[in-house]
Amino acid sequence: MEREKFHGLDHLRAVAILLVLLYHYRMFEHPDWIDTVGWIGWTGVDLFFVLSGFLISGQLFGEISRYGTIRLNIFFTKRFFRIIPPYAVTLVLYFCFPVFREREALPPLWKFVSFTQNYGLDVIDQGTFSHAWSLCIEEQFYLVLPLSLLLLIRLKSVSYVTSGILFVLIFTLLIRLFFWEHAVAPLLESPEFWKVWYMKLYYPTYTRLDGLAIGVLMGYLFRVSSRFKTIIHKNGNLLTITGILAVTFSLWFCRDQYSAQASVFGFSLVAISYGILVAGAISQSSFLGRKANMVTSQLAALSYAIYLSHKGIIHLVQRFLDQLTIQVPDTVVLVLCLVSCILAGLLYRYGIERPSAQIKNKILNQYFL
């Protein structure tokens, strides 16, 4: 995958970060129209999951096809220097500079360091930097997937990847059904409903594997099946349009995000819909993936840094504006916040990510390549 450039995925990653920004902006002072469109933003994380599953699994299956194994030292070195330095700086900002916190209370530091913050996350009472929950899931994915594939290699059972993914999808759906019936539904009329819904259904890794599983399935088929790849490249526009329609239907299906149908089946439906859209984005014949765009490519490149820092940045900008004596329209404040998030992403890029990448390359060239 590293040798291929999928321009369509940059477009989708840019859409994903914009969805997340709109969704989270609702927790701050915002224009009324944000409530109308911002609710769909929760699916931005699911799109990120599908993209990560596709790209990371594609790299790993490429390793297997070239070397017959996975070079864990190289894989984990790349992941460490891509993920950890910006994340560590963000943790320093949150724990050492309380002014950066968008809310009052933080979960314990050890949960962030161990990437287990998404388990038992009390978003009502300890919601500061709550959006790190998805990074926890991705880090657990980066650990489990290569080790699982190595086990399949040793057992000479790599061909069972598709069956394993189907099992994961069914397991995830069933466990959501279990928690809905036994932990969430009994609290429908209780003030505790929202807290328990997030804690039991939304944040845990075992209830949110749909997007990653769909991405891995696509990465596997794209690498090992020439027939699948041919179908993708011949039907790009059809897949793209079908994906857009499927996502639209998914949003309608999940219009009440906290309903039984959305809580049990919605995440799977959204993941499959985004999977179809990603298939269109990687097709050589799709209008979505045919050309690069400077705006979306830059947003895509900054998406991780923006994701980490955006709540703190929005909080700081709005706090600063509140101290001014002039009245600033809500829409202008929104634009200022978005621009500030992009500027913060650029600071991360040149102050953290670029130096980190240089260190990574030196280590890879000296010790592993």
Q: Which residues contact 268 (CB under 8 A, 6 or more apart)?
A: 169, 172, 173, 210
Q: Tens of pLDDT along 326-342?
A: 788 999 999 999 999 99
Distance, in Å, from the CA atom of 363 to the CA atom of 356, rounded to the nearest integer, reads: 11
Q: Tens of pLDDT along 129-186?
A: 999 999 999 999 999 999 999 999 999 888 899 999 999 999 999 999 999 999 999 9
Percent of residues, the chain, with pLDDT higher than 90: 87
Integer-rounded Cα radius of gyration of the chain: 21
Q: How many residues belong to the chain? A: 369
pLDDT band at residue 367 under the 50/70/90 scheme: confident
Q: Is 167 helix (H, G, I), strand (E, B) or coil?
A: helix
pLDDT higher than 70, residue 1 = no
Contact 279, 239 (CB under 8 A): yes
Distance, in Å, from the CA atom of 208 to the CA atom of 247, rounded to the nearest integer, reads: 17
3-state helix, strand, coil in the chain (%, to 5): 80, 0, 20
Q: Tell me, what amino acid is at 295?
A: V
Contact 225, 65 (CB under 8 A): no
Predicted local confidence at residue 5, as pLDDT: 75
Mean predicted confidence (pLDDT) in 290-300: 92
Q: Tens of pLDDT along 8-52?
A: 999 999 999 999 999 999 999 999 899 888 999 999 999 999 999
Closest CA to 219 of 161, 285, 153: 161
Q: Is 69 helix (H, G, I), strand (E, B) or coil?
A: coil
Contact 37, 22 (CB under 8 A): yes
Q: Tell me, what amino acid is at 90?
A: T
Q: Tens of pLDDT along 63-105?
A: 999 999 999 999 999 999 999 999 999 999 999 999 999 987 8
Distance, in Å, from the CA atom of 339 to the CA atom of 335, rounded to the nearest integer, reads: 6
pLDDT band at residue 369 under the 50/70/90 scheme: low
Q: Counting runs of H as helices and runs of E as strands, what totals does the chain give? A: 16, 0
Predicted local confidence at residue 158, as pLDDT: 84
Q: Is residue 151 classed exposed, middle or buried when 0-12, 13-18 and 19+ CB atoms within 10 A define those classes?
A: exposed
pLDDT mean across residues, the chain: 94
Predicted local confidence at residue 4, as pLDDT: 61
Contact 344, 305 (CB under 8 A): yes
